[in-house]
Every structure is written in C-alpha cells, then in structure tokens.
Chains A and B, each alone.
Chain A
Amino acid sequence: MLIHQIIDKGLRDNSNKIALTDPKHQLTYKVFSSTINVFAQKLIKKRLNYGDRVLLYADNSVYFMVAYFAIIKAGLIVVPVDNSSALSRISLLIKDCGAKGVFVGSRQAIIIKEYLQLEKATTLEFVFSLDKLTGFFPNSFELIENRIECEISDTMWPKISSEDIVEIIYTTGSTGGSKGVCLTHRNILAALNNINEFVGYQQTDHEVVTLPLTHSFGLNHVLCNLKVGGSANIESGILHLKRIFNAIRNQKATGFPGTPASFSIIMERYAEVFRENASSLRFIVVNSAPLPPALAEKIMKLLPHIRLMVYYGLTEASRSSFIEHSIENKTLLQSVGRASPNVGIAVLDESGNVLNREAKGEVLVKAETVMHRYWNNAKATEDKMLNGWFKTGDLGYIDKNGYLFLQGRLKDMINIGGMKTSSTEINEVYEKFWKVEEFYAIGICEGIHSGEKIIAFVIKKVNVELSIEELIGFGRKYLDFYKVPSSFYFIESIPKSDTGKVKTGELKDIAKRLEKELC
C-alpha cells in the first residue's frame, strides 16, 4: 500500500460518505478523491522530476489534505511547513530542500509574494493557491468546489515505490538547527499501523482534529481515520472553542487528540462545558509534550467513560510507545508506555552500552517508523543513527514491566563544574511550588573553563506575590545546593513551538542577554 491509496477503502465502501470537513467545507470520499486527481494532474502537467519537493504552507483545511495527497500521487515529495512560519524560515526551507513549487493559503501567500520579490535566484517554479486570491500569481488556480469529476488515464500516473521518500518534515529546531526528516511511504504506514493497533480505529470513528496538519501528530490522526473509511473534522487550533465543542457534540465525534497545553486550557476554564459536549467521545490521545499526571487525573475524573491514551515518539521515530492511563494506577501516569508492536526501545549509557532495566540513559528506537535519513545532512544522520537504531536524545529508563519513563533531553543536561543535573529535574521541583504557574530552567555557559550556570524563567500564579528570595529558599529546601538556579527572571510567557515544545534556544538567547545587562 502507498500513502495516497489509504482513501481507497472509504471510496470503495461508501463513496458518498463525508470524509473530511472543516468550518467552511465538506468533502465526500468521491469528491475528495476526484479533487485530489485534478490537483495531481495539474502538478503532473508541470513536468517536474519524480521526487521534486513541493511545500505545503497553508492553514488547516480539507484542501490542505487534498494538496497533501495530490503532491504524493504526482510522485513528488510533500514538505509541510508551519502555517505561521516567517519569511526567514521559508527562505531557508525552500533553499534547503530546493522546492520547485508551493501550495499556499491566503495568509501565507503574502509571505511568499514577499519572498519572490526578495529572492531572485529561487528554485520555485510555481505557486498554487488553496484559497480564492487576488490573482497576483500567474500560475495560481482557484479553489475547486465540490463538482469535480474527471477521467484520468492510468498511464499518466508515476510508478511509486513504498521505499521512496514521500514527506520531509522539518524539525522545529527547539534544541538546535532545523533538520528535514525524510519519511518513506513505509515509515508513515508503519506509524499509522501502530496508532491503529492501539486505538483500534473503526469505520464509524470521527475525530475532531485541531492540531497543526504540518506535524505528524495531527496529520497522522487524519490519515488513520481515512485509512479505515472513517472521517475527520479539521479545525485550526483551539482558537474557536465554542465551535469545536459544538462540532464534538453535533457530529458525535469519537476521538479528540490534543496537546497537554490545549487540554490544560480546556480543563482550566471550560471543563464543565467540555463534559456536557463530550458524551460521544470514546478516546482522547495526548502527545507532543509530557502530560502532567495532575492534568491526566483531572481529565479521567471529568470523563470517566473515555480512554485516555498517550504516546511517545519523535518526527524521526513516530509512535514508538503507547499507554492507556488508568486512575487506579497513578505510578504509570508518569510513563509514556510500552514499546509499540514491532518497535524496539533500548536505553544506552554514554559509552553506548545497553543498560539494564531501571538504569537511566539515552533512549534509542529501532522500527519501521524510523526515518530514512535527514535531508541534505549526512552528518546529522550519521550522528543520530547507531547500527539501525535512532538516538532520540531523550533521557529515560525502562522499568521492570517494560514501561518507559522519560526524564528530559540529553541536551537539557546542565553541567555545573562537573556536577550534573537537568532542566527537567529542576522544573519538576519548582512546578510543585504553589505560587508558580510555570517554570523553566536552562544552563548557559559561564566561561570556557567554569561550565554552566542555571538560569530560571518563572511565571507566577495570578494575584500572588512571589519574590526571588522565596524562590531561592524553596530551591534550597528541595534541591541539592548546586542545582538551585543562580538567576530567576519573571516572564509573561515561555516561548514554545506550535506543538507546545519549549524553544530552549530562544530562552538561552534571552538569558544571555539579560545576564549581560546585569554585568
């Protein structure tokens, strides 16, 4: 099977069934399939080379998914890009992957127009619009409505292999430079199978997906539903919560995947309204950042009828482990579960030796889901692969029952003159302080010889007084002396990526600037 063939079941079983909806559109399997064909045919007519890259730079919508499948069906590589990416990032990505074309939404078209004015030596040959535009792109075509039916000759379609790269997803670069993760048809299908194995998708399932489709978490949930002939409603984030709650209730949604940040917002202010609208839900899946145990408990108590599932994975090694949480087993609320079927998870020490159960080290994954390679970056690929195993950069241990517990990132390790700690260890302590809303500690270099010092960013709870002396006192009570941050800064928000990952690089820049100002 190939990625663009996953809609075949829905098409075969009931072509008039709604496959995808968004606030403005709905597509049956039949219309979805024929629209993909029209888009793909347009691409094929561009006479690109097999495997050329095409950016998909648009807001979440059903047409995002049409473009996604069309690019793949035309034998090209799809490069989904964050819909809020700035000009500098877009320039960098187009250059890195040598993109020949781009699908844009109307918001993103403004950035691309600016890019084309500035960059004379671009590899871009065409821009396709997914929204009705003002027409400043000579090659753009208008949104195609639900009336497309066309015959396409079989001989036109390229021959595609399951081992071919089908997608490049650029990492957010929250701990370093952004890298293009190359995934093959086989990689993505293996991830879908892993999700399906655990969630048990059925043809009657319908998910409300608010996650960005430019990340594998959101995208793969839509793909999972399509693969079994189910359906999905696509929203752009949790901006319009009233509409989202209405969609869950009125469309009798069975699944609602989300990030810890989005569930935190929902539980904080709208828990009761959510409960009133969520009677049809049978599962919630959380991913992209650790789900705090207290939040997991709140969700399970509010909605005791649903299955709360968490999985662990990276873009490079998607859906490596799963767990279904239970209110009865609170110890496991800290775990990200056991290895998915056909996935190997190992923990290694600094010298590359496999560690025994309960010992802490770097987590490695070996599976069909593990990426093919990084785009244009043989060095990074070599650094991250070890005899077919992918080095995740995550720290953790596996308990005696095979459950994986994560304990921060390898790069989050802070070395204070030879004494080591991690951001996670410090954050976990301070997050228990009742006056603290959010806390993030990082290490910055003090000088060539003196190692690092710990800088902490603090968001205090609303309407409470909190002093630096109190923070120091709290740290000295619960942490080893050398782990107490040397500076604390109160800030309004901690910079995070769309999926809720803390942008540590950005925090380090802020910390260095603030520390310099103090000198």
Chain B
Amino acid sequence: MDKNKIYQFIAETLHINIDIVNEDLGIGDIPEWDSLAHVMLLSRIEEKFGVSLDADQALDLETVEDLIDILKEFTGYADSSNNR
C-alpha cells in the first residue's frame, strides 16, 4: 500500500493539510481528529479499503502508523489467499 495514498486519505477524511500528516499523528493530537472524527475515519477506512475492522482492531487503531500496519496485515491476508 502506497504510504502517500494513505496520508492523502487521512488528510481528506479529517479535512486537514497533508503536510501535517505523518506516521506519529494520532487521535487527539489535532482538534480535527477527535472521537467523532475517529468514528467517521473507521467507517471510511472500511469503505475505501474494503476491509472490516473488528472491535479489537478498531481499538488498536490510534495513529497513522497503526493504520499502515493494519492495512499491511489485510494486504498480507489477501496475498496469501491469492496464492492458493
């Protein structure tokens, strides 16, 4: 997954400038990423990347880095299923 595309997705969803998006950015760091925006972000992640997050995965997702890791995990699953 292209990191820049993920940054762009975060910026668009939270209505923020892409320049302030980095791996360490997390919920609560900026006013635009509050608990309500987080709920919207989770829904958009599922919609955009075609994944379904269970409650534990959603609870673990607090930063941009967490999102990158989760998407890697899902992509990994997809790769292994394609190889079968």
Residues of A within 8 A of B (CB): 84, 236-242, 245, 261-262, 265, 268-270, 272-273, 462-463, 492-493
Contacts and interface: CB of A to CB of B under 8 A. Distances in A.
Contacts of A492: 40
Given A265-B36, A463-B47, A272 B31 contact: no
B58 interface: yes
A269 B56 CA distance: 10
B36 A261 contact: yes
B76 interface: no
Q: Could you tell me the dominant secondary structure of chain B's interface residues?
A: helix
B28 A239 contact: yes
A239 B38 contact: yes
B39 A270 contact: no
Contacts of B31: 84
Contacts of A269: 39, 42, 55, 58
B71 interface: no
Contacts of B62: 239-240, 242
Contact of A242 (B39, B42, B47, B59): B59
A480 B42 CA distance: 38
A241 B27 CA distance: 11
Nearest to A86: B31
Contact of B55 (A84, A239, A272): A272
B36 A273 contact: no
B35 interface: yes
Q: Which of A239, A245, A265, A270 has most chain B Cβ within 10 Å?
A: A239
B17 to A, nearest CB: 18
Interface of B: 27-28, 31, 34-40, 42-43, 47, 55-56, 58-60, 62
B27 A273 contact: no
A269 B45 CA distance: 14
A273 B55 contact: yes
Nearest to B60: A242
A323 B38 CA distance: 31
17 contacts: A84-B31, A236-B28, A237-B28, A237-B35, A239-B27, A239-B35, A239-B62, A240-B28, A240-B62, A242-B59, A268-B39, A270-B58, A273-B56, A462-B43, A462-B47, A493-B36, A493-B40
Contacts of A261: 36
Contacts of B60: 242
Nearest to B26: A239
Given A462-B43, A463-B47, A240 B55 contact: no
A291 B73 CA distance: 38
A127 B60 CA distance: 37
Contacts of A262: 35
Which 3 residue pairs spanning A and B have beta carbons closest together? A242-B59, A239-B28, A273-B55
Contacts of A270: 55, 58-59
Contacts of B37: 493
A240 B27 contact: yes
Contacts of B42: 269
A238 B31 CA distance: 14
Contact of B34 (A237, A241, A273, A463): A237
A132 to B, nearest CB: 18
A514 to B, nearest CB: 18
B67 to A, nearest CB: 15
A202 B59 CA distance: 32
Nearest to B27: A239
B60 to A, nearest CB: 7
Contacts of A268: 39
B61 to A, nearest CB: 10
A239 B34 contact: yes
A109 to B, nearest CB: 16
A450 B60 CA distance: 54
Nearest to B46: A462
Given A262-B35, A269-B42, A462-B47, 13 more contacts: A84-B31, A239-B34, A239-B62, A240-B27, A242-B62, A245-B59, A269-B55, A269-B58, A272-B55, A273-B55, A273-B59, A462-B43, A493-B36
